[in-house]
Structure 1
Amino acid sequence: MASVSLFSVAKADNPTPEEQAKIQKILDLKANLHPQYGDVRLILAEATLHLGQDYYFLSAEEAKKVLVDGWGNPPGNVSNVIGMIFKDKTSFINAQWGAVVTFKGTGYVSDEDSKTADYDAIITQMREGEAEENAARVKQGYEPVHIVGWAQHPSYDPQHHSIVWAQDLRFGTQKDDTLNYDVRVLGRRGYVSLNMVSTMSQLPDVDIGAKKLATVAAYNPGARYEDYSPSSDAKAEYGLAGLVAAGVGVAVAKKVGLLALLLAFGKKFFIVGLMIVAGLFGRIKRLFSRRS
């Protein structure tokens, strides 16, 4: 189907000058990105992403621009981002997900508890404090958050030393729950983290992407998981269960008030105790969706 000009679409929807300026800013940002395919080196993590042609990578600098200028996150909360990954033929404007890449130099995380970890107990413990936390949130004028459960039960892959999990979170009376998908790829000195935030309606697509990304990161010789030396290397004070518990706690904290790396259009941002409804972005999304 032939595309129509952004001008004609914008004119039909009568956007404000401010909205028109935002649309142009987003288009300019998209036009100046430089997607990287194939093998991408993560220098800080001493690893390489083998993305092939199905996914692409944005550098740390460009990823931060997407998160701040495109998706509305505060600059101070994306300082540790080392890149982003998107599915081919999508962009930050229309993607169902984007994986935020970070590296945590926590030391070696043991996988000795991979067969004994009780991940359901983690959800149970989180729910125990839910009522009290939500009472405080409502009192402050924020939506309550309900932990529905695991959207993807934590699963460890001993071959790639990666663990994936996903949470189903319900904010207030939202009709489409929030999906928070996490991938951790373990190495000798820490782990590469890939965080994907979307909605539960997009679970099948996000699930495919997450499980693929769990296999694409390979640490350089000397930094691999099996290169760990008990006599000389730092070791994290927790195993896989602790890694998941910490990851779940961080994810919930972000959505409660610190930072939610949500897809920008039509969703909400949570910034240091302040919830901002992104109505402008919802309208911009409608404009872009009508371009074809």
Structure 2
Amino acid sequence: MWKVFAYYLFICLAVVSRAFAGVGEDSLNRYDMLDPEDKLSASFTYQQGNVVLNNGMVLSVPEGYRFLDAVQGRTLVERLWGNPQNPGFLGLLLPKPGSQPENILFGIEISTDETGYLSQQEARQLNYTTLMQKMQQHLLQENNWRNRKGLSTVTDMYWAMPPAYNETDNTQHLVRILQLGKNASILNYEMRILTRTGALSLTAVANTSQLTALQALMPAMVANIHLPVGQRYLDFNPHTDQIATWTERVLRMGEILDAGHFFEWLLNTWLFIAVCLVMVSFIYVMQYIHRRRELPKQFFHVDERLN
């Protein structure tokens, strides 16, 4: 289960080293005007149009962006920017030079999460307060790692807006603020497109002033992702596929205290309640019949005056 929260935390910090370095300056210019001695990053080859990701999904690179594949993206995110390794990393979207206003976006990381199928009912009932608490606990461990690497640390993390689940396109929207010391902060907008085996995660890292822009950009990105038949959310097979059991014990903790969740739980368990009522009624009727049978039966009447 700790791997699930480690994944969420990594997504929070993905590309964040780049954001740390870029607070207050144009990260795209810094990226495109790298030191001449940095031959590695200068050799990157970008892709446009339709790109086939390593998991078979097809990404239509949106206008104004360029795509860096998994191999080169790992080099940039992990080796040059100093982020921890992400086994599910698929690539990185970066704005083209001059295509975006200054400081609008640092990058969008694309990764896959194979933690199992998350049903719509579970998605609606997730306890995001508990999720944030768990992520903050793992953030302390992540900061220890970053301290050893000589990297900046995240002093706090909280929701920038209430998390939401969209049933129309089966997406979760998790928007966080990562606090860097007292005066600096970074916006982390993660959109999870639910799939048969887990989720495809698109995580945008930008300045906090770009929240409104990302609220329009990220939902529109769903149209740029094309899942092959067999990986779609509707392709789930309950007889063979893995269920996301990590939500049962952790993310739903305390939901019974929430009135909305409580009544939703009652509606979802109406059959259980009906069966309980039938059983109680049956026991009551049987006890009543049993008491009637135990009443003494008088076969004849004795007149005491005869004595």
Q: Which TM bucket (shorter chain)?
A: 0.5 to 0.7
Alignment of 1:19-168 (within 5 A): 23-26=35-38, 29-30=41-42, 32-44=43-55, 46-69=56-79, 71-73=80-82, 77-78=85-86, 80-89=88-97, 96-120=105-129, 122-123=131-132, 145-147=155-157, 149-168=158-177
> More strand by proportion, 1 or 2?
1
Q: How does 1:249-288 map to 2 (within 5 A)?
A: none
Q: Which aligned segments of 4 or more residues in structure 1 are displaced greater than 6 angstroms?
A: 124-127, 140-144, 240-245
Q: Secondary structure at the match of 2:63?
A: coil
Give the fraction of aligned pairs with identical amino acids, expressed as a percent: 22
**Does structure 1 conserve the Cα–Cα contact (< 8 Å) formed by 2:103 and 2:206?**
no
Secondary structure in 1 aligned to 2:196?
Answer: coil
Q: Deviations over 1:125-148 (max 9, x none)?
A: 767x69xx69x97xx99967233x
CA offsets per residue over residues 144-179 of structure 1, 9 Å max, x none?
A: 7233x3213222222322111111132322x23222
Which blocks of at least 5 consecutive residues in structure 2 are unaligned? 1-32, 254-307
1:159/1:239 CA distance change after superposition, 3 Å: farther
**What amino acid is the match of 2:180?**
F
Alignment partner for residue 230 of structure 1, among 220, 225, 238?
238
Q: Which residue of 2 aligns with 1:185?
A: 193
Question: CA RMSD for the aligned pairs?
Answer: 3.9
From 229, 240, 259, give the equivalent of 1:221.
Answer: 229
CA deviation vs aligned residue, 1:183-235 (integer Å, no higher than 9, x gap) = 21111122112223333233334444333334422210121110111111122
Report how far residue 106 of structure 1 moved. Answer: 2.0
Distance 1:109 1:200 in 2: 29
Relative to structure 1, the CA distance from residue 243 to residue 61 in structure 2 (aligned partners, 3 Å threshold; closer, same or farther) is farther
Amino acid corresponding to residue 50 of structure 2 in structure 1: D
Matched AA of 2:175: A
Change (3 A) 1:82 1:121: closer
The 1:86/1:205 distance shift into structure 2, 3 A limit, reads: farther
Q: How many residues align?
A: 213
State the partner residue of 1:196: 204
| Matched residue SS, 2:231 | coil
Structure 1 residue ranges without an equivalent (≥5): 1-20, 246-292
Distance 1:26 1:220, change over 3 A: same
Alignment correspondent of 2:296:
none
- The answer to whether the 8 A contact 1:111-1:240 is kept is no
User: Does the 8 A contact of 1:176 with 1:199 survive in 2?
Assistant: no
Mapped partners of 1:186, 1:36: distance in 2: 25
The 8 Å contact of residues 183 and 194 in structure 1, kept in 2 or not, is answered as yes
**Larger helix fraction of residues:** 2
In structure 2, the residue matched to 1:11 is none
2:178 to 145, 161, 169: 169
- CA spacing shift, 1:126–1:98, aligned 2, 3 Å: closer
Match of 1:36, as an amino acid? Q
Deviation at 1:83, TM superposition (A): 0.6
Pair 239,78 (structure 1): closer, same or farther in 2 beyond 3 Å: closer
From the CA coordinates, give the structure whose radius of gyration is larger.
2
> Which whole-Å CA distance do the structure 1 matches of 2:156 and 2:218 have between them?
23
* Distance in 1 between residues matched to 2:252 and 2:53, nearest whole Å: 23
SS at match of 1:180: strand
Q: 1:158 to 1:56 in 2, by over 3 A?
A: farther
TM-score normalised according to structure 2 size? 0.56
* TM, length-normalised to structure 1: 0.59
Deviates most, 219-228 or 236-245: 236-245
In structure 2, C-alpha distance between the alignment counterparts of 1:203 and 1:171, rounded to whole Å: 17
Per-residue Cα deviation, 1:80-127 (whole angstroms, up to 9, x for no partner)? 422111234469x97722112211222212121344434345446767
